[in-house]
Amino acid sequence: MKKIILIAIVALSIASCRKERTCECKTTSTEVITGFGAQTTTSNTASKVTVEKQKKNHFKYAQECFSQQYSYPDSGGNGANAWSSETTVVRECEIN
């Protein structure tokens, strides 16, 4: 009897790991241009993905539900038309 109860508890705990998961991400991209055509541009986007019967870790990697921050430079033009820019991207994700 104890073995049956123990097996039932283990089975229930494994089954409860799989449930509907939702990944919500908000991304902000900011580009700062200096020199010719100097300006700052910001854009915001949001995304949401929901999948049924998923384990949290598997879902996180399969949906790439990671927060991250990175930046990259760019430049171009010559003389009076020379410009440079720095774009910073901030992505904040949460699993529910």
pLDDT 10s digits, 27-79: 999 999 999 999 999 999 999 999 998 888 889 989 999 999 999 999 999 99
- Does any domain span residue 2? no
User: What pLDDT, on a 0 to 100 scale, did the predictor assign at position 22?
Assistant: 94
Confidence of residue 18 (pLDDT cuts 50, 70, 90): confident
Residue 49 included in any domain: yes
Range of the domain at 82: 20-95
Work out how many domains the chain is built from and give that number.
1
Is 15's pLDDT higher than 60? no
Q: Is residue 33 part of a domain?
A: yes
Paired sense of beta strands 83-95 and 68-76, if any? antiparallel
81 within domain boundaries? yes
Residue 89 lies in a domain: yes
Whether 25 is in a domain gets the answer: yes
Nearest in space to 46 (alpha carbons), one of 69, 23, 73, 19 = 23
Check: pTM over 0.85? Answer yes or no.
no
